[in-house]
Amino acid sequence: MASPPVDQSGWRADFPILQRKIHDMPLIYLDSAASTQKPQRVLDAMTSFYAQHNSNVHRGIHTLSEEATTAYEAARDKVTSFINASSRQEVVFTRNTTESINLLAQSWARANLRGGDVVLLSEMEHHANLVPWQLLRQQIGIELRFIPVTDEGRLELEALDALLDERVKLLSVAHVSNVLGTINPVELLIARAHGVGARVHLDAAQSVPHMPVDVQALNVDFLSFSGHKMCGPTGIGIFWGRKALLNAMPPFLGGGDMISVVTLDEVTWADLPHKFEAGTPSIAEAIGLGAAIDYLSEIGMATIHGHEQALTAYALEACAQIDGLQLLGPSSANERAGLLTFTLDGVHPHDIAATLDERAIAIRAGHHCAQPLHARFGIPASARASFYLYNEAWEIDALVEGLEEAQRLYAF
Ligand code: C6P
């Protein structure tokens, strides 16, 4: 057995829901890749907004509206420094990663790509970074190419020579796979794609919440992520892009707050980032995300990443002792983020999840919105345990006991 990582019990106590009992047992929440739990201060920030400052933003000159606008825009500043964007104008609030990628496809790509241009994706993409491109293919006739995935769950970099040519206008890939846990070599991919003149978008839904991400150091062009996967509320996501690219893009949605002047015949757009924020935004949710960023930043993203890697190493070693457990993704902890996806011979992933739920352990079972990746591995579904800062080694011990129980009950 690996030595258990140091438990950071202070962090677990910050999350009220983790005091809950399920079937009279303490909740063990191992489904953070789907959505994370929220610390008390995020709940407090949102309650305080509704109790003390609730109003629309950018519209009124009364005190409440000014307070709401200040708090909403302060959240944008927090995101700006969290990902080291060079300007707050580059940070667009959306609903989630999915909406951010649809914005990229329907605004930037639709304006800049022609029939026959290529968008390069990979076989490990979440449907959010696949279906918007399939839609665009139907709409304007682009071609999609896919970087293959190796048996160990890495991108097959040798295939890039054949895939990357001047017809590729955009490379859009997951920074971290939500199924394999693989941390992709994005610096290399960005350099290679820029070498043929392509732009690069990172689906950072599973990276920004778990590790330091610096958009300027990465030299990436676009980046998307979701608030609910990083201790923030649902209903708030981020689309980040280089200012010059965003300035040249048409709006995605039209309506209030994204215009400068409207007549019955003409319309001019508001400055960035408001050009991309039509209608009343998710105000309380942005403020909640700001509080989540404060919380994560105080702990430190490198510390969080280190904690998750220690948990992952511990879990990998424990799972290696379980006969019939087939792990998806790289076998070394330092190549992966804090999640383990696997199958158990003779046990359906739904039966694994149901058995664990009886022990108050929450995991995800299914295709995790990555059906092509599951097809690549010849399986319809898998089970996934995913970790965050509030998880501790004893929870992994309980997971392993639960998996052994599922084998006893179902495997034959
Ligand atoms: N993955 C999971 O259980 P939204 O739903 O828009 O907040 O995030 C979409 C998304 C995009 N890319 C990646 C890599 C993701 O992991 C996700 C969300 C969750 O794996 C819910 S399906």
**Rounded average pLDDT over 232-246:** 98
Radius of gyration of the chain (CA): 22
Specify burial of residue 217 (Cβ count, 10 A radius: 0-12, 13-18, 19+).
exposed
User: Can 369 be counted among the known catalytic residues?
Assistant: yes
The CB of 205 under 6 Å from ligand 1? The reply is yes
The CB of 368 under 6 Å from ligand 1? The reply is yes
Q: Which residues pair with 385 in a beta bridge?
A: 340
Task: Please name the residue whose Cα sits nearest to atom 19 of ligand 1.
Answer: 34
Can you point out the beta strands (E) in 16-142? 21-22, 25-26, 28-29, 91-94, 118-122
Q: Which domains does the chain have, with CATH numbers?
A: 9-30+300-410 (3.90.1150.10), 43-298 (3.40.640.10)
| pLDDT reported for residue 59 | 82
What whole-number distance in Å separates Cα of residue 316 and Cα of residue 214?
28
Going by C-alpha positions, the residue among 312, 314, 316, 311 that lies closest to residue 327 is 316
- pLDDT surpassing 60 at residue 142: yes
What is the rounded average pLDDT for all residues in the chain?
A: 96
Q: Global pTM?
A: 0.97
Task: Please name the residue whose Cα sits nearest to atom 8 of ligand 1.
Answer: 97
The CB of 128 under 6 Å from ligand 1? The reply is yes
The CB of 230 under 6 Å from ligand 1? The reply is no
- pLDDT surpassing 90 at residue 341: yes
Pocket test for ligand 1, best of 97, 124, 387 (most atoms within 8 A of CB): 97
pLDDT digits (tens, 9 = 90+) for 89-125: 999 999 999 999 999 999 999 999 999 999 999 999 9
Percent of the chain at pLDDT above 70? 98
Confidence at 60, pLDDT banded by 50, 70, 90: confident
Indicate which residue of 245, 253, 369, 381 is catalytic: 369
